[in-house]
Amino acid sequence: MLEVIDTGIVRSKAPLNGTVRAGHLVYSAHISKNPHTGAIVDGDIEQQTRQALNNLRQAMEAAGGSLANVAHMQIFLTERSDSPGMNKVYAEFFSEPYPCRATVVVKELLSPGVRIELVAQAAFPG
């Protein structure tokens, strides 16, 4: 059974939930949107990565944990050349032991102007 986590981040108009709990696991997906307005944060990959990871941090805190609970990340970038900038900001949010991570370059993301989308799976003690 899924429990929707109220993260305080404006919800998408699409038929989805940004953060859910299933037992001891929390699943959360984020793009670089302003958590209050839902508007896409314009800017380079570092600005967009920082916003997406701030949103993830807010979601993990709303679920009763922190970024330290994140065990696995999937990151989607629209430009291979954005990888160094994304990694620079990622290292500001995560340290050893880093979550398991896959980074994939895609042709485009659904929301215009978005250069990064991330999906996290987090483990919470039961």
For the stretch 74-125, pLDDT in tens is 999 999 999 999 999 999 999 999 999 999 999 999 999 999 999 999 999 8
- For the chain, the distance separating the N- and C-terminal CA atoms, rounded to the nearest angstrom, is 16
CA triplet 33, 90, 77: central angle to 5 degrees?
Answer: 60
Q: What is the pTM for the complete model shown?
A: 0.96
**CATH assignment at residue 96:** 3.30.1330.40
Report the pLDDT value the prediction gives residue 71, as an integer from 0 to 100. 98
Among 62, 60, 64, which residue's Cα sits nearest to residue 118? Answer: 60
Report the pLDDT value the prediction gives residue 54, as an integer from 0 to 100. 98
**Residue 35's pLDDT band (boundaries 50, 70, 90)?**
very high
Quick one: what percent of the chain has pLDDT higher than 90? Answer: 94
In which domain, by residue range, is 38 found?
3-123
**Residue 1's pLDDT band (boundaries 50, 70, 90)?**
confident
Report the pLDDT value the prediction gives residue 125, as an integer from 0 to 100. 86
Report the pLDDT value the prediction gives residue 20, as an integer from 0 to 100. 98
Among 95, 104, 83, 85, which residue's Cα sits nearest to residue 46? Answer: 85
Compute φ and ψ for 66, nearest 5 degrees. -155, 180
Q: Bridge partners of 77? A: 105, 116
Q: How many domains does the chain have?
A: 1
